[in-house]
Amino acid sequence: MKTQLSLLICFLLGIFNSFSQNIPGKDIVQEFLSADELQKITESEKLLQKGDQVMSKVSEEDKKTSKIKRAKRMERKSAPAKLLRVEAFTEYEKSYQTVYDLYLEKLNTLTFDYQEDKTFVDQKRNEAAEANSKAKSMLKSYKGLDKSKMKKTEYSRLKSDFSTIKQKHELSLTLLANCFLVHNQAKVKKQKEIEDKKTFDAACATNTVASYDEYITKFPSGKYVAEATERKNKLTEEAAEAERKRLEAAAAAQNKQIDSSGVFYMVQILAVHTQKTLEQLAKVYPETDKIVEYQDVDGLYKYALGLYKTYQGVIEFRRNIAAIVGEENCFVIAFQGTNRIPVYQAQKQENK
């Protein structure tokens, strides 16, 4: 932020680096000013215009002496132009000082919530006071000079000093204006923090993985991202644990039913080395509450659907499941109690 403000200072000084005067920082500060205070700005602009009119006379005087070759004679003949410059810059100083006092008074009424902003504003306020004081001091040294003394004053040095005076005044106003810019940036920052907290609180109230994902997406650098991520991970772990227990309970219930059911048939839809989560199973078959998991003697985790006592019944069921998971991914398996047996053996016992 400080780098951006430094660039702005250079930009504003570049704009005002001519004798066609403007009020530095007016566009930034005017939203903070009352109608009466804006009127003071308008009056200050008139003083600048008055100074510009005097500077036009300076240009005319400079043309008269531009062809004089002897330096001492040129310095004597330039006395009227020198005095006119003092007159012009006296009007400029009145304008700048009025605006400086107005900016400073209004700035002192503002509050800054962030310590880094307070430090920055204090620094810029001090720098502005130093620049303002230096400009007034430099001009004061020329105000008391009469025409005779002006003849002895080096014109090039006077012009250089007056250029510095102008820059110091403009710098003082630009520095104060940037403090108002910091205030506006802080307001935006504060509003984002409020929205950040509001969105996080809403996510906590809902307390779902989706709500925390929504918060993290909206505020990727938000204050509560770490906490939201932690809460999200906890919910994910709890859901995985609940699913594991559900599958265990389903398997236990199925085993209990199997123990008392003799020979029966199921449709296997998946066999893997690593146990699947609920979300992963849902990609295979959406009604995950109907899926039964068991670990076969070969160590694979297998997932099956249905429980049919007749081969004809399971064949019809398989036809329906194949339309969902694919013909190549499902086939009939048979059990006797808790033991897996070949399908043909189950058919023989069914036909007894």
Q: CA dist 148 to 61, 141, 145, 164, Å?
A: 17, 15, 8, 24
In a domain, 201, yes or no: no
Do residues 33 and 145 share a domain?
Answer: yes
- The structural domain count of the chain equals 2
Residues 6+ apart with CB under 8 A from 73: none
Do residues 35 and 121 share a domain?
Answer: yes
Q: Please report, as a single letter, which amino acid is at residue 154.
A: E
| Six token digits for residue 49 | 């215009």
Q: How far does CA 329 lie from the centroid of its chain?
A: 49
pLDDT of residue 239: 85
- What pTM did the predictor assign? 0.61
CATH of residue 262: 3.30.70
In a domain, 209, yes or no: no
Q: Which residue shows structure tokens 């307001």?
A: 187
- The answer to whether the CB of 305 falls within 8 A of the CB of 333 is no
| Count of CB atoms situated within 10 Å of the CB of 113 | 12
Compute and round to an integer the Cα radius of gyration of the chain: 43
- CA 145 – CA 124 distance, rounded (Å): 33
Do residues 169 and 270 share a domain?
Answer: no
Do residues 73 and 177 share a domain?
Answer: yes
Query: Domain containing 263: what range?
Result: 258-351
Q: Which residue shows structure tokens 């989706």?
A: 210
Q: Which of the listed residues 155, 190, 225 is the one where a domain comes to its end?
A: 190
Tell me the angle at which helices 155-206 and 2-15 cross, rounded to the nearest 10 degrees.
140
Local structure of residue 89 (DSSP, 8 states): H
Half-sphere exposure of 107 (CA within 13 A, CB side): 27
pLDDT of residue 253: 65
Q: Which residues of the chain have pLDDT under 50?
A: 2-3, 6-20, 260
pLDDT of residue 132: 97
Residues 6+ apart with CB under 8 A from 131: 168, 169, 171, 172, 175
